[in-house]
Amino acid sequence: MAPKRAREEGAKGGKPHKHKEEVAHPRKRFYRARAHSNPLNDASFDVPTRPEDFDWDEHFPEFLQEWRERQQKQQQDAGDAAGPSSSASDTPVVRFVDIGCGFGGLLVKLSTIYPDTLMLGMEIRDKVSAYVRERIAALRREQPGSYRNASVLRTNAMKYLPNYFKKGQLTKMFFLFPDPHFKTANHRRRIINSHLLTEYAHLLAPGGWLYTISDVPELGDWMKAKLDAHPLFERVSEEELEADPAAGLLALSSEEGQKVARNGGATFRNVYRRLEAPRPMAEAAPS
C-alpha cells in the first residue's frame, strides 16, 4: 500500500512533493574565539608579495568564471574570437572590504544588495574566519547563483592591506565595532589612527567611503577626531547617509551591533569620503 501522503496527493491528481534538500549551516558555538586580539603580535600568514600575485579565483570561482565566459562570448559576437578574452586590467577586483568582519553579518547582507560587486571580509581570528567561510559556502549551496561575490580572508589587516589591494582599488571600507583598546598604552593598536588612515586613503578611490561605528563613546570620538584631522577625508552628510543602503546596515548587521541593540546601548556612526586632493591644513580639525 502506498504511504498515506502519496495516496492523498494522488487523490488530488498531483505529484508527490519533492522536498528541497536542507543545507547545514555552521553553528557559532563551535567557532567561538576571544572577543579581542592584539593585532601587533606576530602571526604566521601566507601573504602575497604584491596584489598581482594573489589568486582571487579561489574566493570567487563562479563569479569570475561567468565573467570570463561573458567576455569571450562578446568577443565572439564581435567576430574577434581569436583574440584574448580578457586582460588582467579588465578583470573584476574586490571593491568592498569589511575589516574585522566578525561572523560576517554585514558581508552577507551587502552581498545581496550589491550582487555585481566583489567584496571581502578580513578577520584575524582563525575560528571566526573559518565560520564565515563555512557560512558563505552554505549560503551558496542553498541559493545557487547568490553570494558568489562575497568571501573572507584570515589575515592581519593592520599589516597587510597593501599586499592585497592596489592604489585606488577600493570604493567602500567598513570598520564595525572595532576593539577599543582602552589603555592609553594600547591606543597604537586601534584600527583607526592617523598613520593607517593615510594607508586607507591610498587604497580608496577618490569618492570612496570609509564607514565606522562604535558603542564606545570615547572610541567614537577618537575615530571622528582622527578622520576630521586627516586632509584626505571629509565627513559625509546625514542626508547622503539616509540614501545609502550600506550606511543603514552598520548598527544591526553584526553580532556586536545586535548585542548593543538588545542591551539598549547607543552607537556612534562616523562615515567619511575620500577626497580627490588634500584639504588645506588650515581646514583640518585638530587631532
Q: Examine the residue annotation and report whether 80 is marked as an active-site residue of this protein.
A: no
Judge whether 86 is annotated as a binding position. Answer: no
Judge whether 22 is annotated as a binding position. Answer: no
Judge whether 168 is annotated as a binding position. Answer: no
Which of 222, 202, 169 minimizes the C-alpha distance to 278? 202
Which of 237, 210, 230, 223 minimizes the C-alpha distance to 285? 230
Judge whether 254 is annotated as a binding position. Answer: yes
Instruction: For strands 233-235 and 150-154, give the pairing.
Output: unpaired
Task: Kindly name the residue from 55, 77, 98, 179 that is annotated as catalytic.
Answer: 179
- Complete edge-to-edge strand list for the sheet that includes strand 268-274: 150-154, 118-123, 94-99, 170-176, 204-214, 268-274, 233-235
Judge whether 252 is annotated as a binding position. Answer: no
C-alpha–C-alpha distance, residues 125 and 259, integer Å:
20
C-alpha–C-alpha distance, residues 268 and 272, integer Å:
13
Enumerate the known binding-site residues for S-adenosyl-L-methionine.
100, 123-124, 156-157, 176, 254-256
Which positions are annotated as active-site residues?
179
Enumerate the known binding-site residues.
100, 123-124, 156-157, 176, 254-256
